[in-house]
Amino acid sequence: MRRRLPSLKTALPYALLVLAIINAVAWAQPSASIQTPEASDDPADLAAASGPGVGEVTLTWTPAANASAHWVWSVQPDGQDSRWHEAEGADSAVIRDLEPGQEYWFIVIAVRNAPAVGPPSWTGFSDWVEGVALAPPPPPELDAAGGLTAASGPDPGEVSLRWTPGAGADVHWVWSVRSDGTESRWHHADDGGGSITIDGLEIGVEYAFAVISAYAQPDGRPVHWSNFSN
């Protein structure tokens, strides 16, 4: 037997009734409880101190509540060298690789991560604070070498020099120049003990000599010079 399909006139109310029932059931289902993190205060009481290392600044602050991380933005007063730094701790950070002796401005912001309920959210910024990256200590005071004397030899084309080392120096350099000014050279006094023999000079030609004291870095590069000896 062939089943008669309901006419549009009778089918439409039936379909609307079914949709209404489905919709009512859907709205009656309990929805997932979505709780966003509680709004927290911004980071506060930001303070800066030079160090502990050269080119570093230490920052401290009162952390924002419910924050999972804090980030620091540093910038020079003229807008150069601006960077973000992730703080190692909840209330402090050591900002490194800054220009020694240079002033910087700093500001802190906190992030609240909530991966289960959506993207992280950010607090407001702290107040600005100024800080100066720690500069290296000044070199020690250097005295000029004194009592410089010269003697021919011991071999032809050589002159032996002696002097009193300058106080605070760990290296000395000797400058030699022909009396007519046509040849001049620097000579490194390797032992630093107040003497050197200059070789490769032209036999029978008069030369003038001077010694300068220097303070050197661990790699041997001179970084600070005294005046010349008398």
Q: Please, are residues 120 and 204 in contact by the beta-carbon 8 Å criterion?
A: no
Q: What is the rounded distance in angstroms from the CA atom of residue 108 to the CA atom of residue 129?
A: 10
pLDDT in tens, 74-117: 999 999 999 999 999 899 999 999 999 999 999 999 988 755 65
Contact 109, 126 (CB under 8 A): yes
- With a CB cutoff of 8 Å and minimum separation 6, the contacts of 8 are none
- The torsion of the CA quartet 65, 67, 71, 77, rounded to 10 degrees, works out to -20
pLDDT digits (tens, 9 = 90+) for 4-43: 434 434 443 443 333 343 343 333 333 333 333 444 489 9
Mean pLDDT rounded to a whole number for the chain: 78
Write down all domains in the chain, each with its CATH number in brackets.
44-132 (2.60.40.10), 146-228 (2.60.40.10)
57 SS3 class: strand
- What pLDDT was estimated at residue 228? 67
> Checking phi first, is residue 145 left (phi over 0); if not, alpha (psi -120 to 50) or beta?
beta
Q: Is 222 helix (H, G, I), strand (E, B) or coil?
A: strand
- The Cβ-side half-sphere exposure at 92, using a 13 Å CA radius, reads 5
